[in-house]
């Protein structure tokens, strides 16, 4: 059974801007309404995960750390090993101690086996920039806006798995998970304008044309690439009809959740979760990568 980490949204707000999507003015215009909607949206995502057969562990909210609701950025987790993130922006650096404590508790319970800190001088923002592709047996790894190029060697060395570097071309798509999503059938849903030409060449060399699903501007702006894939189910923010049709034609079932309060901060379904039970060993009963 898949196991995810989520964070209680009780202290979520959009009160600063560290990416182009963040809209603190819109949040301030209706704080109470936005917070109520965020709690409902988080609950809807949690319910969707459970309906798909997953379990969910929760981290408590912390006042003054609104982006704690995006635990995908907290760490890279594979085979019970945890590589903790180091955040580039000071606004998020306070999250590091909270997530370290959470992972230490999970270690004591046997949920994960070991926890490692990133070496000093490097930045890496977790599974948001290191997405495990079970079928291809590699990490797709974004770098540039948030994660430093040098951190990718640490990911490769710690987990002992191939890492494919993909340079991100825009602050608008600041983490790989905003623009790239490998699916259980071998397809990759991705947004080409988010990548440099070198990164696009790497994707196209490794993923056959028939398995490449190019997201449109509308798909990407709706944060639908930032999705959670469990077997043939894809959980995502509200999708444009054309994207829904394309994915359903490939045999996927879409579960849409209204995540608009979190899109005001530049995140959606994938950002709001962190898969804890991910394994590098393919199993007949395994649930596929997010």
Q: What is the pLDDT of residues 130-151, one digit of tens each?
A: 999 999 999 999 999 999 999 9
Tens-place pLDDT, residues 92-113:
999 999 999 999 999 999 999 9
**Residue whose pair of structure tokens reads 């947004």 in the numeric block:** 191
Between strands 180-182 and 188-190, the pairing is antiparallel
Express as a percent the part of the chain with pLDDT over 90. 97
Annotated catalytic sites, by residue? Answer: 175, 271
Cβ contacts of 168 within 8 Å, gap of 6 or more: 142, 143, 144, 145, 174, 175, 176, 179, 194, 195, 196, 199
Distance CA 73, CA 70 (A): 6
Tokens of 176: 């790989």
Please indicate, yes or no, whether the overall pTM of this predicted structure exceeds 0.85. Answer: yes
Fold that domain 3-275 belongs to in CATH: 3.75.10
CA geometry: angle at 114 spanning 110 and 119, to 5°? 155
Provide the edge-to-edge strand list for the sheet that holds 180-182.
Answer: 180-182, 188-190, 212-214
pLDDT grade for 282, boundaries at 50, 70 and 90: confident
Domain range list for the chain: 3-275
Distance CA 224, CA 243 (A): 9
């Amino acid at each position: 059974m898949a196991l995810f980490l989520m964070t209680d949204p009780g202290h979520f707000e959009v009160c600063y801007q560290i990416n182009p999507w963040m809209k603190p003015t819109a949040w301030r215009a209706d704080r109470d309404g936005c917070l109520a909607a965020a709690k409902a949206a988080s609950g809807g995502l949690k319910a969707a995960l459970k309906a798909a057969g997953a379990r969910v562990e929760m981290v408590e909210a912390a006042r003054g750390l609104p982006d704690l609701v995006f635990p995908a950025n907290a760490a890279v987790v594979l085979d019970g090993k945890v590589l903790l993130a180091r955040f580039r922006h000071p606004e998020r650096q306070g999250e590091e101690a909270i997530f370290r404590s959470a992972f230490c508790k999970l270690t004591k319970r046997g949920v994960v086996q070991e926890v490692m800190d990133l070496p000093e001088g490097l930045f890496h923002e977790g599974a948001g920039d290191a997405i495990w592709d079970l079928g291809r047996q590699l990490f797709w790894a974004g770098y540039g806006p948030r994660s430093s190029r040098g951190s990718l060697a640490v990911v490769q060395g710690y987990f002992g798995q191939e890492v494919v570097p993909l340079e991100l071309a825009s602050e608008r798509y600041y983490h790989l998970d905003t623009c790239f999503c490998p699916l259980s059938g071998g397809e990759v849903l991705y947004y080409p304008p988010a990548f440099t030409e070198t990164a696009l060449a790497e994707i196209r060399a490794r993923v056959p044309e028939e398995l490449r699903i190019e997201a449109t501007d509308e798909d990407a702006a709706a944060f639908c690439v930032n999705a959670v894939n469990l077997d043939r189910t894809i959980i995502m923010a509200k999708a444009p009809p054309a994207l829904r049709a394309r994915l359903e034609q490939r045999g996927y079932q879409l579960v849409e959740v209204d995540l608009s309060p979190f899109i005001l901060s530049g995140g959606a379904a994938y950002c709001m979760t962190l898969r804890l039970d991910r394994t590098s060993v393919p199993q007949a009963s395994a649930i596929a990568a997010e």
